[in-house]
Structure 1
Amino acid sequence: MATKLHSSKIIDIYSALTDTELELPVVNSGISAGFPSPALDFVDISIDLNKHLIKHPSATFYGRVKGHSLKNAGIDDGDLLIIDRSLEPQNGKIAVCYIDGEFTAKRIKIKKDEIWLMPENENYAPIKVGKDNDFLVWGIVTHVIKSF
């Protein structure tokens, strides 16, 4: 089980355990969203989600989303983020940032000498990162795991 490293009202951060393997069957040809495919009778390929989703195990963490600021990006309250701390921040990427004592997940916007944390929900205001803010791009979101 993953270890909870930090909890806040915005996001909970967990360590990623990648020393286990779990091979699960996968339909390699894709799954039709229209008519059923007879290919489901011939599932014989497997996938290990640790290997598929986590490229840098020692730098990867999970984060549980709390809130709705990224709903228009398809990230909802309760979703599980896979966060890679080894990746460099890039304009337009969704990142987990530490600002003034709290973790938050936002799309980062870098323009000239400014950094903005952009929500993906019109009900939330962008956050301009200033020189007085205690700020760090903690990691880049690489995947989102949803429950339905």
Structure 2
Amino acid sequence: MFRIIPIFEPVAPLSLPCFETVPAGFPSPAQDHAEKRLDVYELLVRRPASTFFCRADGPSMQGAGINSGDLLVVDRAIEPQAGDVVVATLDGGLTVKRLVHQHGCWLLAPENPEFPPLVINPEEGVMIWGVVTYSITGHCPR
């Protein structure tokens, strides 16, 4: 269901041009608006030792803007809170859901009404692996 992509401290930063704004209306010479350079790794990864990447697979989190194929940045050092999108172990695999506390119970809730929420039963070995800090869309809108 998920493929874990380990990360390593990069040897050299990946510094790319960062434009202040790019108009969605009338074109303008974008080169004139270059503000600074942006290190993508530094932007996405706060704690390298506790961060991993995985790809979402399936439609259960579409309401949260997470689509199948999106790259998720997950930080294991963040203490999960109600409302966080998390990656959790479930039935021997990994799943991405929203962590919800309702009526004294913890749930792994999808963001798609076609899927039921999953009650977290501590005796079944459900574990939160980490909190999703970014979702990177894997495709360009057409």
TM-score, with length taken from structure 1: 0.85
Which ranges of structure 1 fall in alignment gaps of 5 or more residues?
A: 1-8
1 CA distance for matches of 2:124 and 2:103? Answer: 18
State the one-letter code of the partner of 2:70. Answer: D
Does residue 1:118 correspond to 2:106, yes or no?
no
Which ranges of structure 2 fall in alignment gaps of 5 or more residues?
A: none
Cα RMSD of the aligned pairs, angstroms, is 1.6
Mapped contact 1:107–1:119 kept (Cα < 8 A): yes
Between Structure 1 and Structure 2, how many residues are aligned?
138
1 CA distance for matches of 2:47 and 2:8? Answer: 12
2 CA distance for matches of 1:119 and 1:72? Answer: 8
Provide the identity percentage.
36
TM-score, with length taken from structure 2: 0.89
2 CA distance for matches of 1:19 and 1:70? Answer: 30
* 3-state SS, counterpart of residue 63 of structure 1: strand
Give how far 1:130 is off.
1.7
Mapped contact 1:129–1:135 kept (Cα < 8 A): yes
Does residue 1:23 correspond to 2:15, yes or no?
yes
Give how far 1:68 is off.
0.7
- 1:40-51 superposed matches below 5 A: 40-43=31-34, 45-51=36-42
1:134 corresponds to which of 112, 125, 130: 125
Mapped contact 1:95–1:106 kept (Cα < 8 A): yes
Q: 2:67 maps to what in 1?
A: 76
